[in-house]
Structure 1
Amino acid sequence: MGTWDVEPFGNDDAADFADELDDAPTQARIEMIGAVLDRVANPADDDPRLSDAPRAVAAAALIAAQCPGGAPIASGYGPTTPMPQFPAYLRRLAIDALDRVITTPTWLAEDWDATSEGPAWRRTISDLRNVLDPPQQETLFDL
């Protein structure tokens, strides 16, 4: 995988995915995002290292961009056509996929961890996850 940035679309696999999304009709984009997230969140036994991990990170970023506190995809990265409004169930699937990418021995996490940019990449994943599933404020008592 060619990589040029820790951003979700900063690699060849994610850039190819962006091109495929641009070429697809609106409903197909939703299905493509859901399928890649599902393949990573619930991998087949023959894909233990999660070959679609870069695409799942990119898909999670597109969903996070539509959430409160989400950042738009940086100019020059990602799809150029507007994304449809994603259904709510994809948010949970995106969280599960991101968790799987960083907690199992995926080739993507291993490759990043072997570089000096590994901590920055992990921050990117953590930031996405926090937008998708914000930390809850604990209250000691109701007012």
Structure 2
Amino acid sequence: MGFWDVGPFDNDDAADFAGDLDVVAEDVRIEMVGRVLDRVVTANDDVDMGIPKAVAAAALIAAQCPGGEATCPVYGPSTPMPQFPNSLRGLAVDALDNVLAASSWRAVEWNDAAKGQQWRRNIIALRNVLDPPQRETLFAN
């Protein structure tokens, strides 16, 4: 897999996933996004293969949330996405938590990369859109 940059679709696997989403029916898109997230949530120690697609899937869901950003117009899906069910938000949060906690070679590779800090900040920003910090948490000592 080639990393190009720190965005959710800035790698080969995520761009391929976006292309796959473009060619299937709307109801299948919801199912595909859910499967990608579930794979990372239920992975024991091997989340490597699912990280790029899970981040992209989370970005698609976050794009529909208040404060969410539109997905990459170049490498993201070109077909409009269906409205994702709220149940996928929690699954996306759990997947991103696993991505951030992963000791996999992909996560370690990003941590060691020059842009690793920015990649982690982007993942945390996605997570915060999906599950905004509570006001009490923001102002806690």
Shorter-chain TM band? over 0.9
1:6-56, CA deviations, whole angstroms, 9 ceiling, x for partnerless residues? 00000000000000000110000000000000000111x5x6243111000
Please say if 1:103 is aligned against 2:101: yes
Identity %: 60
Highest Rg: 1 or 2? 1
* Residues matched between the structures, number: 137
Query: In structure 2, what is the Cα distance between the partners aligned to 1:96 and 1:126?
Result: 12
Give the TM-score taking structure 1 as reference length.
Answer: 0.91
Residues 14 and 52, structure 2, Cα contact 8 Å, conserved in 1: yes
Following the alignment from structure 2 to structure 1, what is the Cα–Cα distance between the partners of residues 70 and 109? 26
Deviation by residue 1:71-112 (Cα, 9 ceiling, x = unmatched):
001321210000000001000000000000110212221111
1 CA distance for matches of 2:42 and 2:47? 12
Aligned counterparts, 1:63-82, within 5 A = 63-82=61-80
Distance between the aligned counterparts of 2:25 and 2:99, measured in 1? 28
SS at match of 1:105: coil
Which 4+ residue blocks in structure 1 deviate beyond 3 angstroms? none
Partner residue in 1 for 2:84: 86
Task: Give the equivalent residue in structure 2 for 1:36.
Answer: 36
- For residues 46 and 128 of structure 2, the distance between their equivalents in structure 1, rounded to whole angstroms, comes to 25
Structure 1 residues without counterparts, runs of 5 or longer: none
TM-score (normalizing by structure 2): 0.93
1: CA distance, partners of 2:129 / 2:65: 7
